[in-house]
Structure 1
Amino acid sequence: MHGVKRTRLSAEALAAHRKKEEVKLKEYLELTNDVLTKKKAGDWSHEALNLTTRLLTANPEFYTIWNYRRDIFTNGIFTECTPNDINDILNIDLGLTETFLRLRPKVYWIWNHRRWCLEHVPDGPEGDVLGWKKENWAMELRTVERMLDADARNFLAWDYRRYVLESMPVKKPESNELAYTLCKIESNFSNFSAWHQRSKVYTSLWEKGLLDKAKNKDEGAKPTWWPETQKPSLLIPFSLRIRTN
């Protein structure tokens, strides 16, 4: 980096560092071999699951191991669990993958595993069938918002947000998403991911007949922060006019 003085390591320090890296690589390759051997043998045990946790912690981009982890759940562990146990296990995996995302927010396979977890949340106890699902999907939306607070241009997080909003058992009003995207745009006008999300919401409202497209184009109001000398784009209107008739 510019302005940062580099420290030249001694020959002894370089040799020690190289040896340490060689040990780490050897351990990683041995762990990989152990996990793939268990996968080939159809091992669905808790021991195999723990090994996948170790390997994915070292390399969360190893999609083959994510697939194996899910097979362990469906073919082994879940077969001996109650619905409550399954919900608890899935919540543990959601917590694990959130930890991974903080370090590797643009690894697709982490987001993909979260999808799988949410889609396998069982029905809740009698009298509250959607209880666990509503709780987990609501928490997932908050997780995505934390990720977008950390990086408002993370296109994987925006795509995943659309998936969450579409999949929630109890849908959020689309006007909420207009407010959310406006907040992101006000923070950074060149956030094209937020603009894209906003345009998709308007398109949805137009298609449902909840928004008068022609009227909105002609009468789109400027937000308070918009420069007086510049007209808002007619392609992406800023005001929401819901039909009442």
Structure 2
Amino acid sequence: MADHRPVDGAGENPLAELELILESDPLIDEVGFIHPTQLASLSGEEGVDAPGPKNPRFWSRDGKLGISTEVLLPLYKEARRAFFDAVRDFRTRCGSGGDGGGGGVGCEVMKHSRALLLVSSDFGTAWNSRKLVASKEESFSMYMDELRLSELILSYSPKSDQAWSHRRWVIKRIAGQTSSLPEIIMKESELVEKIAERSKMNYRAWNHRCWLVSYMTKERVMCELKESKTWAGLHVADSSCFNYRRRLMTRILEDLCCKDGVSSVDYSFEVYQCWKDELDWDEILIKRYIGREGLWLYRRFLSLCWIRHFTTHAHSTSCNSNYIAEQTTDPSFFLDKELDLVGSSLVVQDDHFDDFQAQALYSTTYILWLAKQMPSPLEIELRQRLTARNMNDLLSEFCPNSSFLSGSSAEDTK
């Protein structure tokens, strides 16, 4: 290993100082980069005669770690050099037939890569080296350390692709090896919600949460759907949250439609009621938050699945018709509700606000899209209902070139 010299003659080099802090406090759960003047004031709060350098580069207390922005560049250079030296020694040891993972060389790789990732969260080689060492060790405690490290990095870099990917890799490795996996998955979901609260429009976090659904039990999926409802209702502009709810709803249908499993009547009714409640809730949000396209897109998914699985027309095509048939509804009732919603949305109450215009446009495209997804009997019925409600002219105002409306008008003139 190369000798680590002091940086700019300032005593102990910053890498050794940082690694000492991390070793002495393994429960650090948040890291941030602080201007030197702010760092000095934080250190001053602990007392004027406090031991340590007069110009501190790090601050750590109560599980929080602050790093001076002044030391970032020399720290990165030192950590990068130490990391590649450790990797070189590790590969040499492995190439000569040695264990490499459980010995001191593997520990050096893990130690220096941790410091490097704290200042460069997307350093792919460092993440891959940690995977290599951890996979050789195959220790559950080491995998849990990896989850803690990636969570620490996400505290300052919540959109780090590498950090989220590393968490998925760890979960794949421990799946089937521990009985605590459901608890780990639940904590992962809570972590995403916590990060999404302070990092808006975080697609990577929500994508990770969608990925977790495949590891959830049926009961956990239902709980997630209920627990995320309030958050989604307060963040209707965040379409990633509704993509997550869509993934949960799809998983519910998958469980119901599983050919190898046997769904109970109670669970079938629970799914039916869940879908009905979701449609009603989405309608409330559409009326409350005018002009939100994401809500209309989410309704497309809900309505299409409702037609395919929960209407009387779905008997022959439903994946589990023996159970669902007992809870199916008349498609005419569903069409009436949707036309009531679209009709109320077509009324532009104020031309000065674009939201009302957008609401009318989204409602028009929604009903026209839905018509294209319907089987022929329901499409014909929809045409008749639009004509009976005198809605064709209103729809044509926002979609004048619609072939569906043109066909409907042609039939009406016959």
Query: TM-score interval w.r.t. the shorter chain?
Result: 0.5 to 0.7
Q: Does 1:55 align with 2:108?
A: no
Contact 1:152 1:184 in 2 (8 A): no
- Relative to 1, partners in 2 of residues 1:40 and 1:174: Cα closer, same or farther, differing over 3 Å? same
Q: CA–CA distance in 1 between the matches of 2:157 and 2:235?
A: 23
From 90, 97, 104, the counterpart of 2:157: 104
Percent sequence identity over matched residues? Answer: 20
- The yes-or-no answer on 1:68 pairing with 2:133 is no
Q: Distance in 2 between matches of 1:157 and 1:65?
A: 21
Please, which moves more after superposition, 133-142 or 186-195?
133-142
- The residue correspondences of 1:215-226 to structure 2 (distance < 5 A) are 220-222=279-281, 224=284, 226=286
TM-score by length of 2: 0.43
**DSSP-derived class of the 1:161 partner:** helix
CA distance in 1, matches of 2:302, 2:111: 51
CA distance in 2, matches of 1:205, 1:133: 20
- Counterpart amino acid of 1:37? D
d(CA) in 1 for partners of 2:122, 2:231: 29
- For residue 122 of structure 1, report the CA deviation from its aligned partner: 6.9
Whole-angstrom distance in 2 between the partners of 1:38 and 1:228: 58
Amino acid at match of 1:94: L
For 1:190, the aligned partner's letter is A
- Cα shift at 1:72: 1.6
Residue in structure 2 matched with residue 243 of structure 1 by the alignment: 324
1:122/1:132 contact within 8 Å kept: no
CA apart distance, 1:166: 1.0
- Residues 115 and 26 of structure 1, relative CA distance in 2, 3 Å threshold: same
Name the CA shift for 1:99/1:186 in 2 (closer, same or farther; >3 Å). Answer: same
TM-score (norm 1): 0.67
**Displacement of 1:200 after TM fit?**
3.7
Q: Does residue 137 of structure 1 match 2:185?
A: yes
Query: Aligned ranges for residues 24-103 of structure 1 at < 5 Å?
Result: 24-41=72-89, 42=91, 44=100, 45-75=106-136, 77-78=137-138, 86-103=139-156
Render the CA deviation track for 1:136-159: whole Å, top value 9, x for unaligned: 223222222222233352111111
Residue 108 of structure 1 deviates from its aligned partner by: 0.6
Summarize the Cα distance change of 1:29–1:204 in structure 2 as closer, same or farther, 3 Å threshold: same
Pair 1:199-2:249 in alignment: no
Instruction: Answer yes or no: is the 8 Å Cα contact 1:35–1:51 preserved in 2.
Output: yes
Secondary structure of 1:103's match?
A: coil
Count of aligned residue pairs for this structure pair:
209
Classify 1:204/1:50 alpha carbon distance in 2 versus 1 (closer, same or farther; 3 Å): closer
Deviation at 1:175, TM superposition (A): 4.0
- SS for the counterpart of 2:174 is coil
Asked if 2 retains the 8 angstrom alpha-carbon contact of 1:60 and 1:107, the reply is yes
1:32-76: per-residue Cα shift (whole Å, max 9, x none)? 12212332341542122111111111211101110011112223x
Structure 2: distance between partners of 1:105 and 1:111: 9
Alignment match of 1:227 (pick from 282, 287, 299): 287
Q: Render the CA deviation track for 1:92-149: whole Å, top value 9, x for unaligned.
A: 221121111111000010111111222222755xxxxx42323322322222222223
Change in CA separation of 1:229 and 1:73 when aligned onto 2, cut-off 3 Å = closer
Larger Rg: 2
**Which consecutive unaligned segments of at least 5 residues does structure 1 have?**
1-19, 79-85, 125-129
Deviations 1:143-193 (A, max 9, x none): 22222233352111111001112124x344544444345323310221211
- Counterpart check, 1:148 vs 2:196: yes
Give the Cα separation in 2 of the matches to 1:115 and 1:201: 18
Aligned to 1:118: 171
* Distance in 2 of aligned mates of 1:132 and 1:203: 25
**Contact kept in structure 1, 2:83 and 2:112, CA below 8 Å:** yes
Secondary structure in structure 1 of the residue aligned to 2:121: coil
Cα distance in 2 for partners of 1:33, 1:68 equals 14
- Structure 2, unmatched stretches of 5+, are 1-67, 94-99, 101-105, 258-267, 311-322, 327-414
CA distance in 1, matches of 2:131, 2:146: 11
